[in-house]
Amino acid sequence: MYEGDVRDSRCIARIINLAYRFNCAPTLIDAQAAAHATRLRIAFSGAPDAIVRLIAQIGKIVADEAFA
Amino acid sequence: MTGAEAVLSALEREGVDVMFGYPGGAIMPLYDALYGHAVRHVLVRHEAAAVFAASGYARTSGRVGVCCATSGPGATNLVTGLLDALMDSVPLVAITGQVRSALMGTDGFQEADVCAITQTATKRNVLVRDAGRIGDAIAEAFALARNGRPGPVLIDIPSDVLKTLVPRTSGPRSIVAARSGPVAQPSAIAEAIALLRDAKRPVTIIGGGVRSGEAVHAYRRFAELAGTPHTATINALGAAQAGDPTFLGMVGMHGTKAANRAVQTADVIFALGMRFDDRVTGRPDRFASGAKIIHADIDATEFDKIIRTTVTLHGDLDVTLTALCTELCRAPVPRFDAWAEQARALGGPLPSDRVDGLAATDVLDRFFAAIPRDSIVMTDVGQHQMWAAQRARPAHPRNYATSAGLGAMGFGFPAAIGARFANPEKPVFAIVGDGGFQMSFAEFATLKRYGTDVRVLLIDNRNLGMVRQWQELFYDERYSATNLSDNPDFVAIAHAFGVSAARVTDTDDLGAAMDNFINRPGPALLHCACYPAENVWPMIPAGMTPDELMEARA
């Protein structure tokens, strides 16, 4: 499960695409838009080590996306 | 001022002296603002060349490379170069025009959702709909391109936003001061040194992080203090001190026997600013299987991605190496001279095929022996890329670059043009093959227009040589779509663009032709008509280990 805020909700699409490259698939996608960010909860099925790497990559995407 | 003028003001604030691009409808307001402006624009002949030139500029200078293109096809032509920059950690900012806001989403003329298309080819992209945001967006883009692990950022601006009037401001809001990066924990540094102290056969592998992290000085100091045999990935050629006897050459698929065998024999590996690419590891489950791995990188997602590490050093590589050096000065480790000597003995001279005609390897041996020490060399992708990497001894990693991670043909020539704009005082060479050169030779027009002194060394074996080599070795000599025996007359092409050119077909003529090519100033082509079936050796086939290394045929 990844849980965090994203400034630009387009990066949710990027995360979902990335999951498939790791041979994972989203099992839960919950995005709640607020004034300046979107609260994202997303869970995946897949090999445990792939999910670990995927979550790490998501952290990088979200950090770059929020960079200001 | 207009949004377009705000773009140029922001670029000036970032110290941009040159941008590479190609105009078109949606980005016309920016080109109108460029007319007579201090920011120099270099017109290339294809947008792909713009982004590769920006990449060559960035790779050889350490500054952020800048390119621009119009909407739709202009923007999509940037995609390969953006991904190349992402793979090789090159800081770029690309600015694309977008159709006017009212047309977006209507399949307008030259409309493409470039932000969606480049989402996985950039660190971040942004569509700027508010002209008042342009200054901040560009400042953020430059800061992000440089921050942490460098990479490309794209800014897409609709044409009406480029025309919108915005208040003239002195600068962006207070963002984007330089960030301090992560720093490896002292306990991890101590653990790494402890592993080195107990090691019998340690090996260091240096990667492209030494270039992007400006860590060459610290790395050379570390190599001296640690005393381990060391090797480099293709992006780190030039990191080792010239003449360092413990340097074993390049590692990986076409690396030296000594480097690959030493890595495979090692009991401890310092992996510094490298990412265990499959062209380095071959078969990960058997890569250096007896070694404990100490992995230093600024990007935490690289840890345990391919190879399990014993110690991770997460941080800026220069800072990490400096900390390691401090520790090594405080408590020196035993010398590994005997092991270094043994590692060197695992290798031998580079093997080469017997050829009937001009050998590409002879051409490159002579080239690298003759070029000035401060030369900058950019290569394209294919056999010549590997032969060159085996022979190059650049003074610094910023003096040598190639499309390493992505392997994008067509990179070398425009990248050399960008390198020359960044380094007008240094000799700049492009080594290209006949395949990749035919993707980029329109840039002769750029050389001619700007009088850019780039020399192009064309290794023409009338084949897509690397694919041909694999077809020979792994596809039963079924040479499908790799024969280029109907190549054009490259010398005539150069002459048509007004660029001087010569051809060499015989080994006996090579010396004089090469001397003339290297020493006579001005843009030039040396067309080397080489034997078509020379292969790159040694070779570790994909997915295999150094134990299965292949050498030249008898």
Give me the residue spans of the domains in chain A: 2-37+52-66
Q: Which of B407, B453, B405, B462 is nearest to B433 (CA)?
A: B462
What pLDDT does residue B170 have? Answer: 59
As given in the structure block, the two tokens for residue B251 are 């590692």
pLDDT above 60 for B174 = no
List the single residue in A with minimal CA-CA distance to B117.
A14
pLDDT above 80 for B24 = yes
For chains A and B, count residue pairs whose Cβ atoms are closer than 8 Å: 35
What pLDDT does residue B352 have? Answer: 86
Q: Which of B216, B209, B312, B314 is nearest to B269 (CA)?
A: B312
Lowest-confidence range among B71-80, B462-471, B545-554? B545-554
Averaged pLDDT for residues B57-70: 98
Q: Which of B19, B70, B9, B12 is nearest to B40 (CA)?
A: B19
Task: Please tell me whether residue B443 adopts helix, strand or coil conformation.
Answer: helix
pTM > 0.95: yes
Contacting A residues, span 15-54, partner chain B, CB-CB under 8 Å: 17-18, 53
**Inter-residue contact B414 to B443 (CB < 8 Å):** yes
Averaged pLDDT for residues B483-494: 98
Contacts of B301 in chain A (CB under 8 A): 53, 56-57, 59-60
Averaged pLDDT for residues B248-269: 97
Position B504 confidence tier, pLDDT thresholds 50, 70, 90: very high
What pLDDT does residue B547 have? Answer: 87
What pLDDT does residue B552 have? Answer: 85
Amino acid identity of residue B237, one-letter, is L
Q: Give the whole-number percent of chain B exceeding pLDDT 70.
A: 98
What pLDDT does residue B216 have? Answer: 98
List the single residue in A with minimal CA-CA distance to B125.
A65
pLDDT above 80 for B177 = no
Q: Give the whole-number percent of chain B exceeding pLDDT 90.
A: 95
User: Higher-confidence residue: B177 or B356?
Assistant: B356
Looking at every residue in chain B, the average pLDDT score rounds to: 96
Contacts of A13 in chain B (CB under 8 A): 116, 119
Averaged pLDDT for residues B291-304: 97
What pLDDT does residue B80 have? Answer: 98
Strands B311-314 and B247-250: what pairing?
Answer: unpaired
What pLDDT does residue B171 have? Answer: 66
> To probe the interface with B, which of A10, A54, A58, A64 has the most B CB atoms within 10 Å?
A64
Averaged pLDDT for residues B7-28: 97
Q: What is the ipTM of this complex?
A: 0.96
Burial of B338 (0-12, 13-18, 19+ CB in 10 A): exposed
Lowest-confidence range among A42-46, B164-168, B393-397? B164-168
Dist. CA B146–CA B332, nearest whole Å: 35
pLDDT tens per residue, range B126-171 = 999 999 999 999 999 999 999 999 999 999 999 999 999 999 875 6
Q: Give the whole-number percent of chain A exceeding pLDDT 90.
A: 91
What pLDDT does residue B348 have? Answer: 85
Dist. CA B7–CA B464, nearest whole Å: 42
How far apart are the CA of A54 and the nearest CA of chain B, in angstroms? Answer: 9
